[in-house]
Structure 1
Amino acid sequence: MSESNPLTQISTFLYGAGVPTSGLGLSPQEASLEVQRRYPHKQYCLVRQWMLVDLLVADPVQWSAEHPGKVPRLVFAHEIVFDSAGRFPPGYWVRSTFQVSYAAEGFFETSNSVYVLLDEGCSKTEALDVVFSLY
């Protein structure tokens, strides 16, 4: 991102256009059943208004050494529908930890959770420091 003003960078990240990306076309109830079937031993979080964020890291080799088995990608969602572990109330936002897998469309897996991406979202690329400044 070439903007030098941090507020402009954050605003562009949160509200700027991204590449439209398909999520899971199921109801929350159907999605809950499907995620429990696919990942029976993991907590999960159903989200809407989400972004898949590919993180720009300064040194990809160093990043990989510091985060083995993880991809510099995360989910940022503006609306939590349901969190199976009760960590987040409905209507709040969430930023996931780094991706472990994204093998099935709509199921974004981290070390501890699966984020179920409901409806349509978008994909963006952003600097790691901009994304982490929101927390």
Structure 2
Amino acid sequence: MTLEEVSQLLCGAGEEVVGWAGSQEDLISLAATAFPGKAFCVVKQWILIDLTVTQVEREKLASLGLLPMTLFAHEVVLDSKGRFQSGMWVRSNFGKSFTEGCMFETKSTVYLLWGSGLRKEASVGAAFSMKAG
């Protein structure tokens, strides 16, 4: 992993992806129906990251019910559990599902992708090098 790789991940070009185009309230309602009782985090300016992994790593993740994907968001809008303040950035753990084009689920949280974002590919090292604090 290099500084250039991390810089490209955060600031470089990617495939534009349309997230939720409606209201924040409607997005939260959709998530509550799809994932009742699960914590959610509404984010903007997000990057869906497809992780470059070996076949062995892919199989290991699949055996754990995980996808070789993670999410980075430049802006937290609202976190249902108060873990992240509005305006902070966040990086998720490995994903479990990506549904409706706007809900990225991890073990503990559903990230609600509000507005358009990007989809990029990166190494596990680059994606998980970003840590808060």
TM-score, normalisation: structure 1: 0.89
Tell me what 1:49 maps to: 45
Query: Structure 1: which 5+ residue stretches go unaligned?
Result: none
Amino acid at match of 1:104: E
Cα distance per residue 1:91-118 (max 9 Å; x no partner): 0001111111113210111111100000
SS of the aligned residue for 2:130 comes to coil
- The one-letter code matched in structure 1 to 2:59 is S
Corresponding residue of 1:64: 59
User: How many aligned positions are there?
Assistant: 130
CA apart distance, 1:30: 2.0
Sequence identity, in percent?
Answer: 37
1:75 lines up with 2:71 in the alignment:
yes
Whether the aligned pair in 2 keeps the contact of 1:74 and 1:96 (CA below 8 Å) is yes
Of residues 118, 127, 131, the one that matches 1:131 is: 127
Query: Are 1:19 and 2:15 an aligned pair?
Result: yes
Provide the residue aligned with 1:36 in structure 2.
32
CA distance in 2, matches of 1:77, 1:60: 27
Structure 2: segments with no counterpart, 5+ residues = none
Counterpart residue type for residue 74 of structure 2: H
Superposed CA deviations along residues 10-30 of structure 1, whole A, max 9, x for unmatched, are 111100000000101122222
Paired with 1:116 and 1:98, the residues of 2 have a C-alpha distance of 15
